[in-house]
Structure 1
């Protein structure tokens, strides 16, 4: 391995044997392996890469894609089923909350314990301890057993210990997600100081793509336990974002009715509810800022005089986003028993890409709720490659700016300018 390569993986594969019952292990042993009582699960499949000293590499992918398995192989916690992993340097890892700490030891004792694991003399740890304690900033709890710590206090001490033992390779697996924003900022500032020495490398795992792109120069994208992309941070994060949205669409289509909650008196029945386009055709997806049209077909078993109809939209947690009532029309509405169709229209649906639902309800003139449905008719606001470059937000509003005497109007398809 070249002297500037810190980590080298060649055809790295990790498989597990999954037994249906504890006794199946004994049965397989008694047959000397001639009869299989297990199935194999591949956690990582034929992964190869080289990481040079001084690189900051992000590892991204959905849950179960093999990220944690890869880090454990790099750390030597797991042994590969096949292939090889060569590491050149001392590793300090924050793989999960609690890993490497003895919960019966005090914070101080755990700091020295970690130093001993890293083969750092006690005298050296004495010199570093005050800096570690100051960075962790947990006060008198440093001399209390860590089982008494909150998750935030725990990650503060763990991170402080990991970076102040000055490793050649620092591995951070989602640990910073526990800390607050101020602590995360403090951690990244310290990492920048640590990385000013070009010989160190950082492996950073996070589901926060903006954090990964901002901090890492290179990103490895794992999908289905294999590397599907390995390259510049922005390009790889954008690919992951697009793939995640495609996956969300597939899941959305497969679970269209899983959120529906319907209650009623039996006097009204929902027949159909659809999102439609301008031609009246059923659709499942609209573009950000497009008009929203919802067609509702229902059946009444009793006549209604001056009923109130409610139509609105909801987020995935069924939080109300928009709502309208026919009572706002101040118009005489009467329905006889039988089938009826109404349409609800919004000039534009200004929410960001994602999944949304429709709610519909009917109330009679005495304010009795005859029908109420939530989580109905799931639909999707689509996205494209430009969405990843835009800031986090809830609303997708058209905006205007005046910069240097020019008036700019943001349009998703174009940016138009004119003199103010």
Structure 2
């Protein structure tokens, strides 16, 4: 899978200037102009110390990895617009998704333009963040201002970084899980500060459950009513620096327990979200829970039309969008899945709404970032690779689908979930999306 290589004209830094300190976050958008001189926001941080704590925790997430690998530190992305900034990042292993939201109450400045961009998180800048004092005034610039360009005249520092496309896949899966989540626990200031007190030491071998017993939080190997399944719970320690500052917290989970999330309400327009995959060895980029909604391709002009309607961080309400444009619910679901597959949709648990990212509109990403769907379409190119065996009662269809080394029996349609005899299905039982054989049968024999 190819990565996008981008470069910053100068590194991010906390600059000491006569008029005060300025946090200059160097930006490079995938669709940036040739000059790279794009500025998204400039203004004052109303609580620079709290913002710095949030950004430092985000940097901690980016630098972490919970399975052995040699991935280098990656730079977060930020979406600017609608009066707010959203900083998003994954752990290097892609199993932890984090987001720092700075709402209107956290910012006092000008949004020069809306959009989504990468920001340089270099080590000196992160170290400078940790030294920002509680009452220290700091201005923020996301992107390059003219004064910055003038100072950089004649001296260009390029730091080329490969932005992995698996981040786009991770964004797709993370928002898919977030959109399914229900609030399970609401914690007050004291409970939030004590969130990790009963967490077993060391690395969690399997999933454990977070629950409230009276007013006391506890972790247990056995779940119960209202308990939240947390896979790899030791990853919650990434929040250690923010929990003492939290005014309240909310804990979420998907109905099937395949993902969980904690939202910290930090006050002053600051919120921090940490979402965990089902297990430590499962990165969000490997999930395929939305593949079924991508089977029927929508016309590219439909997707382009929807994309042209939204700016960065604007709310995307599928129901209202469908009503406004006279679209059937199934079509709206396919539209959401397609936009998400290009990395264009995020999900805000606080408002229970999707928000838009202004990434380049590239429909080829849908197949390129979903190899199971691409392989299913390849199977269909040969009529003999997907064969009908018969149709049973209730519309249940049995098919034979050619695999790499053997033929597989596939059951699709009817009231029951799809099934396949391949190793992928046997290992995951549909929890990570269906296999290419099921997708091929669904495409071939769909009613």
Bin for the TM-score computed over the shorter chain: under 0.3
TM-score (normalizing by structure 1): 0.25
Which structure: greater strand fraction? 1
Higher relative contact order, chain-length normalized (CA < 8 Å, sep 6+): 2
